[in-house]
A = this chain, B = another copy of it.
Amino acid sequence: MENAVRSERTRQAAIQAALAIIARDGPGRLTLDAIARESGISKGGLMHQFRTKQAVLKALLEHQIEHFEKFSQDYLASTDPRQPEAHLSAQIETLREAVSEPHSVAFAIVAALAEEPDLLSIIRDIDVQKIANIKAEAADPELAMLRWAAARGLVLSSVFGLCPFSAEERERLFARLLDARQWDAFAKANR
């Protein structure tokens, strides 16, 4: 097999193994040895592809970011471009997706990142951009940011097992956050 392909395969295997470990055993159990064991790669092979654990976590994070970025793009593409506040809706939909995926897949990563807080700045930088988009298109920017913050709150709460709502209740709340007409009326009335 070609070297580039070989490397890529190994890296992907490592990432998938890491996701499995986090989902099954929690972020605290995500060790290099565990990844090696889970993926079938030897520790040496793993360390060859990722020089440090931080590098593994970074790859993991980028993998997830890519996943949700794609989701968000797809949503935007499938939506009427004249829809008001499309970026906001896309972000809220993406957050909703993040919270409802299989079983603590993507987000437990965030928990894993408690070990490497620096990596979270990657997410923040992306969010800054998203927020700028949302602001630019919003009739009432503050309200838009609050809707975004509420969605974020629901996601982060759920990720850390802090969410006091049931799954159905959370779903209803997301639905309401997405009810553009209602908020639009509010924004206009409040101008």
Contacts and interface: CB of A to CB of B under 8 A. Distances in A.
A62 interface: no
Contact of A164 (B27, B127, B172): B127
Interface string A111-123: 1001101001101
A110 B118 CA distance: 17
A77 interface: no
Q: How large is the interface on A (under 10, 10 to 19, 20 to 34, 35 or more residues)?
A: 35 or more
Contact of A165 (B110, B121, B145): B145
Contacts of A154: 149, 153
A124 to B, nearest CB: 5
A157 interface: yes
Interface in A108-164: 110-111, 114-115, 117, 120-121, 123-124, 127-128, 130-131, 142-143, 145-154, 156-157, 160-164
Interface in A64-99: none
A177 B146 contact: yes
A1 interface: no
Interface of A: 26-28, 110-111, 114-115, 117, 120-121, 123-124, 127-128, 130-131, 142-143, 145-154, 156-157, 160-165, 169, 172-173, 176-177, 182, 185-186, 189-190
